[in-house]
A = this chain, B = another copy of it.
Amino acid sequence: MPTEFVLTPEEMPRQWYNIVPDLPEPLPPPQDPEGGGKRLEFLGKVMIKECLRQDATPDRWVDIPEGILELYQQAGRPRQLFRAKRLEEYLKTPARLYYKAEFYSPTGSHKVNTALAQAYYAGKQGLERLTTETGAGQWGTALSYAACLADLECTVYWVRAVHKWKPQRKAFMNMYGAKVFASPSHNTEAGRNLLKEDPNHPGSLGIAISEGLEDASHDPKSAYALGSCLNHVLMHQTIIGLEAKKQFEKAGDYPDVVISCLGGGSNFGGFAIPFYHDVLKRNKKIKFLAAQSESAPNLQGEYRYDYADHAELAPQMKMYTLGHHIKMVPIKGDGLRYHAASPILSLLRHRGMLDTVAYPPDEKYVFEKTKLFVQKEGFLPAPESAYSVCAAIDEALACKEKNEQKVIAFNISGHGLLDLDGYQEVLKF
């Protein structure tokens, strides 16, 4: 019996799915709390025009341009769906487990799916450079890669505290020719002001966003690219779930439970949204489960308007949020440390269509389960993806207890090859 389901490049989906027109109620628009639209105007200036247009498009299906399909091929898409047969047997669960292999990506994560699209559109717009921020480094690497393939320059502002202890990831971005600056930096006024106060300022994601935005705003040939949360980002990521659906057809199976980890929401959304389509339009019944950390359980926050960034440069969006100034305990799955969930997923949560589980921040529980996965399936997930794996195993064990033959689908959004020290520290090898 096959355990690997493969699509050829010819079978790759040709359209992204935009869930916005199918949502059970209209998506609350971004807003500028003081009115006047100052922040909306600023975003309009610094962001890629086609991405802004897609963010508000009423179209349900959006054609993927031939150029982006070629880039997806170049990045090794489509990616496999695996049946976790060995894990099932070990767990002695009647459940059937399937996982999507987004870790087989040139930079190691699903982030390339939107990075390539954004870089492509930036090139078409005649831009010459992209700026961005990065925290853990996955997004910065993906954008460096995509910019490179689209013949654009790339400037990455990287939270200084993280930048310092990840020299290998910095070298990876440099291989792609990106310019990487520890943030706060001397490149921007925001950075210079902070360095005047404290020359060793550790930085934060909020500060790095401010620097990326400021840098792009001073250069008409530059735009700022965002890696999560926004509608167009989630739409680009639906390539994951659209492929997975075709692969489930080949497997002759269909999920009862769809699981992924959720920080800002781009990997969860990309994997789950095509399945939401079946629930919203075809009366399918699926349990959606977001795996989070107790360090940042944003789906257990409040559903209200809040800023996406620390420095309040971008407009407010209606989201499940912990507050944009909340302090979050450091965890190895750093990509899950975000104060709010994307507006689309927040609305689905608000309508009772998205469950969530949050795991303790010492990560022992999560990483022990992940080690089991590694030993049975052989792949090393990123610390963030470890949460998906853990939640899937917990669901499979619940099925065993109740003797339920459910089909559980989960996404492994990235590999952990550049995060092995994190596993080592927690599991104490």
Contacts and interface: CB of A to CB of B under 8 A. Distances in A.
A339 interface: no
A424 interface: yes
A283 interface: no
Interface residues on A, range: 35 or more
Interface string A162-194: 000001111110111100000000000000000
Contacts of A420: 167-169, 171-172, 175, 418
A76 interface: yes
Contacts of A2: 9-10, 73
Nearest to A1: B70
A379 B106 CA distance: 5
Interface string A381-419: 000000000000000000000000000000000000110
Nearest to A170: B429
Contacts of A427: 174-175
Nearest to A72: B4
A148 interface: yes
A376 B145 CA distance: 9
Contacts of A73: 2-4
A274 B394 CA distance: 45
Contacts of A74: 3-4, 82, 86, 377-378
Interface string A132-150: 0000000000000100110
A148 B375 contact: yes
Interface string A27-52: 00000000000000000000000000
B70 A3 contact: yes
A418 B421 CA distance: 12
A421 B4 contact: no
B175 A374 contact: yes
A80 interface: yes
A423 B175 contact: yes
A371 interface: yes
Interface string A99-120: 0010010101000000000000
Nearest to A421: B168
A27 B172 CA distance: 44
Interface string A355-383: 00000000000000001001111111000
Contacts of A379: 106
A6 interface: yes
B417 A171 contact: no
A171 B4 contact: no
A424 B167 CA distance: 9
A75 B86 CA distance: 12
A10 B4 CA distance: 10
Interface in A205-235: none
A171 B429 CA distance: 7
Greatest chain B CB density within 10 A among A374, A378, A423 is at A378
Contacts of A378: 74-75, 106, 145, 148-149, 176
6 contacts: A4-B74, A74-B378, A76-B104, A106-B378, A167-B424, A175-B380
Which A-B residue pairs are the 3 nearest by beta carbons? A171-B424, A174-B429, A168-B420
Interface of A: 2-4, 6, 8-10, 70, 73-76, 80, 82, 86, 101, 104, 106, 108, 145, 148-149, 167-172, 174-177, 371, 374-380, 417-418, 420-421, 423-424, 427, 429
Given A170-B424, A418-B420, 13 more contacts: A2-B9, A4-B76, A74-B86, A106-B379, A145-B378, A171-B421, A171-B424, A172-B380, A175-B374, A175-B375, A175-B420, A176-B378, A417-B418
